[in-house]
Amino acid sequence: MENIIILAIETSCDDTCIAILKIKNQKSKILSNAVSSQIEIHKRYGGVYPMMAKREHQKNLPLVLKKSLEEAKINRPDYIAVTIGPGLEPCLWTGVNFAKHLAQKWNLEIIPVNHIESHILVNFLQTTNHKLQAVLPAVCLVVSGGHTQLILMKEIGKYKILGETRDDAAGECFDKTARILGLDYPGGPAVAQQADQFRQSRKNKETSKLTIVSLLPRPMIYSKDYDFSFSGLKTAVLYKVKCPVFAKASVDKEKQKTKKFVQMMAKEIQQAIIDILIKKTLKAAKDYNAKTIILGGGVSANQELRKQFKKKIQKDFSQCQFLVPEPKFSTDNAVMTAITAYFNLSKTQSWKKIKVNANLKV
């Protein structure tokens, strides 16, 4: 089919997302991309409450749909796509039930979409006719608040999970350590902001005295597998902030409360996570002779992570291509759902058969 329009719905967590994508002659054009964020609602709790997020989705979906259709200037699409998993089950069901309602109303079928796969395939948004032989096999790092996975992509639709976190995801570690430091939710952007402020003022004499946070652990960085663990890093941060007796350098409690201490700790937390992610990903790329390294997921929006990945690949893996989406397509959105649906048109089903799988794997 040379000219199709896909309306996609994404409600796997706390963002209510609807996008409309037009594919013509294998080239995509975003007709609308609407996201209703719930950050301010969940910020006071330091994390997402599934049932509260579900209620917000139910309230927001009709409003976001209206906005999307008006912006795209269409009455109805050719296909409906919806994220069926993985994610928070109550949230996923709100999107799926809404998609079913629209499919019944418009007499359309639905393309079920895997959320993890969509974080990977959003990298092919601008070139849907990409010459896959030039980029595959690829090692994909999907890193977010709920997931940290290394995936071998042999071709679209054929994946092998090489490794994943044994406890906290990287984004979850950002959230929890940010909370320990008294920073806002979501933790990733808050930690990144403090780390950037530390870099800008690193010549300040106050920062030079605060060596207590140097050398936070990098759990499992040298393990022979491709798995991750971030729980130990979180615990180490807790000890250094709350229990200075465990630290290798002495610092009084008042010093710990300074802005510079928080900034330095944030810088070290971010660097520890970056070091682990890069080391594991490049090990997998080398072991599997990957032609491409692909990043996806909310944490991939981190500018320092992007910069250091790019620098390391150019230095040590110049034969590898490096694909990472625009930051607005790293965090949850429905554009990535729509482009993944395009690559999975053969999986179109009757709306009656669509079900949620909160633990869905690629």
pLDDT of residue 102: 98
Q: What percent of the chain has pLDDT over 70?
A: 90
Task: Describe the crossing of helices 231-242 and 170-180 by its angle, rounded to 10 degrees.
Answer: 10
Torsion angle of the four alpha carbons 313, 318, 319, 325, in this order, in degrees rounded to the nearest 10: 40
The tens digit of pLDDT for each residue in 147-206 reads 999 999 999 999 999 999 999 999 999 999 999 999 999 999 999 999 999 988 875 554
Mean pLDDT of 24-39: 90
Domain ranges for the chain: 3-125+329-353, 132-324
Using pLDDT thresholds of 50, 70 and 90, give the confidence band for residue 68.
Answer: very high
Q: Average pLDDT of the chain?
A: 90
pLDDT of residue 134: 84
pLDDT of residue 48: 82
d(CA 357, CA 227): 23
pLDDT of residue 47: 76
More confident residue, 259 or 164: 164
296 has which bridge partners? 142
pLDDT of residue 204: 52
CATH of 132-324, one of 3.40.50.970, 3.40.50.150, 3.40.50.300, 3.30.420.40: 3.30.420.40
Residues contacting 254, CB < 8 A, separation 6+: none
d(CA 240, CA 246): 7
pLDDT of residue 130: 59
Mean pLDDT of 256-276: 90
**CATH code that applies to domain 3-125+329-353:** 3.30.420.40
Say what the pTM is: 0.91
